[in-house]
Amino acid sequence: MPLWRIYHEETVFTDAQKSSLAKTITKLYNDIGLPPFYTNVIFIPVSASSIYTGGEPATKFVRFVIEQIARTFKNDAVKKTWLDRIDVALAPHVKDRGDLTWEYHMVETERPLWRVDGIVPPEIGTLAEKRWRRENRASPYGAEENVRSKL
């Protein structure tokens, strides 16, 4: 479950820009095999008088706070590759605009601390996880589905 909280001044993104950015973020995770419904993007508008960087007003600033649970990084090389992919994906939405400053950080939560609709998510690569992806929703599964498929 990736959870992206995007703090921004109220006028920075239109509804269409928010939708496009949310789809871009969802695609990042869908491309690596996560069901689309795992990805949550929450835009948090903040009044222009409430954003400060270094003690100074920062009205054209966007802050991404990213939590990841469904997948974690095995090593620093994988972390760098993933962050590079994020940079490329975000560029058209923030960097390439030329009028924004932006920053993000990511935290990883231990998988055992995660539930979807009260259900423990299936293990990575299992038949149950593949079904969740296909159906794009959480649903109960049995132990026989929570084993890695050989297909």
Average pLDDT over residues 17-43: 97
Q: Provide the pLDDT for residue 72.
A: 82
- Residue 127 neighbours by CB distance under 10 Å: 18
Confidence of residue 151 (pLDDT cuts 50, 70, 90): low
Report the distance separating Cα 27 and Cα 90, nearest Å. 12
Domains, the chain, in order of start with CATH, read 3-114 (3.30.429.10), 120-151 (no CATH)
pTM value?
Answer: 0.90
Model pLDDT for residues 95-147, shown as the tens digit of each residue: 999 999 999 999 999 889 999 999 999 998 899 999 999 999 999 999 999 98
The two tokens of residue 7 are 């703090």
Q: Are 126 and 149 in contact (CB under 8 A)?
A: yes
